[in-house]
């Protein structure tokens, strides 16, 4: 026969067990909720910035200048390094420059549309002219140019970590364009009537 004291001890032990169990369940629940919140935030950030890029540092050697004198936009380095090489005529002068592919709104990677000849951001619809000037959507400023130069073997080099911004007058810096003297074909004029039109020298 069970004594009253034994019964009380049994009840106390059971209560303690339940207490410990429910505390443990509470913390497990908390951890699961924390994990769900973390995953949800990561997914939300991914939706906001679906396709952003990191910039490599230092000079990259791209290839001989002749490869880039095409009178068009070279997209070969967009995926790997986050920039375009543009060969176009601005104010009667033919220039080669590297343009960041990252949208100036929230950093999504733009795409080149050869017809009508614009860069378009897939995230919120910003558009940029071939020269990189924002003309539609929420992007607040032009795409920056990157440092560009020729090495002693006339190969094009770009440093993606050095940016030149039109709105700060930095497109005047000869470190962000190469003057192409030997023209191989006709290239289009920069679309007119924008405050940054012609900002290059």
Please give the C-alpha separations between residue 117 and each of 93, 112, 131, 168, in angstroms, as whole numbers.
19, 7, 10, 25
Query: Which of 81/105 has CB closer to ligand FES?
Result: 105
* Alpha carbon distance 72, 84 (integer Å): 10
Largest CA distance in the chain: 109
Could you tell me the sign of the dihedral formed by the alpha carbons of 53, 54, 56, 57, in that order?
positive
Do residues 64 and 163 make contact, with C-beta atoms less than 8 angstroms apart?
A: no
Closest CA to 132 of 174, 177, 180: 177
Q: Which is nearer to ligand FES, 60 or 106 (CB)?
A: 106
Separation of alpha carbons 178 and 158, rounded Å: 11
Nearest distance from residue 133's CB to ligand FES, in Å?
Answer: 14
Q: Which residue lies nearer to ligand FES by CB, 128 or 196?
A: 128
* Residue 70, Cβ density class (10 Å: 0-12 exposed, 13-18 middle, ≥19 buried): middle
Between residues 52 and 70, which has the closer beta carbon with respect to ligand FES?
Answer: 52
Least Å distance, CB 65 to ligand FES, is: 31
Q: How far is the CB of 120 from ligand FES (least distance, A)?
A: 9
Q: For tokens 């497109």, name the residue.
A: 171
Minimal distance in Å, beta carbon 48 to ligand FES? 8
d(CA 158, CA 175): 10
To the nearest whole angstrom, how small is the minimum distance from the Cβ of residue 128 to ligand FES?
A: 10
Give least dist CB 198 to ligand FES, A. 25
Q: Which is nearer to ligand FES, 14 or 124 (CB)?
A: 124
In the complex, the residues that contact ligand FES under the rule CB under 6 A are: 103, 105-106, 108, 121, 123-126, 137-139
Q: Which is nearer to ligand FES, 86 or 108 (CB)?
A: 108
């Amino acid at each position: 026969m069970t004594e009253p004291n034994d019964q009380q001890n049994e009840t106390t032990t059971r209560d303690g067990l339940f207490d410990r169990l429910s505390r443990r369940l509470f913390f497990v629940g908390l951890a699961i909720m924390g994990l769900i919140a973390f995953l949800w935030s990561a997914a939300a950030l991914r939706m906001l910035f679906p396709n952003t890029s990191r910039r490599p540092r230092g000079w990259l050697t791209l290839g001989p200048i002749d490869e880039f004198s095409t009178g068009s936009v070279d997209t070969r380095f967009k995926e790997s390094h986050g920039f375009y090489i543009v060969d176009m005529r601005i104010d009667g002068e033919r220039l080669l420059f590297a343009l960041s592919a990252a949208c100036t709104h929230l950093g999504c990677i733009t795409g080149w549309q050869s017809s009508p000849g614009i860069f378009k951001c897939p995230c919120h619809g910003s558009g940029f002219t071939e020269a990189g000037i924002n003309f539609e959507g929420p992007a607040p400023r032009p795409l920056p140019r990157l440092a560009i130069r020729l090495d002693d073997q006339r190969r094009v080099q770009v440093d993606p970590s050095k940016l030149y911004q039109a709105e700060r007058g930095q497109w005047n810096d000869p470190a962000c364009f190469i003057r192409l003297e030997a023209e191989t074909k006709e290239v289009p004029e920069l679309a007119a009537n924008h405050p940054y039109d012609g900002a290059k020298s």
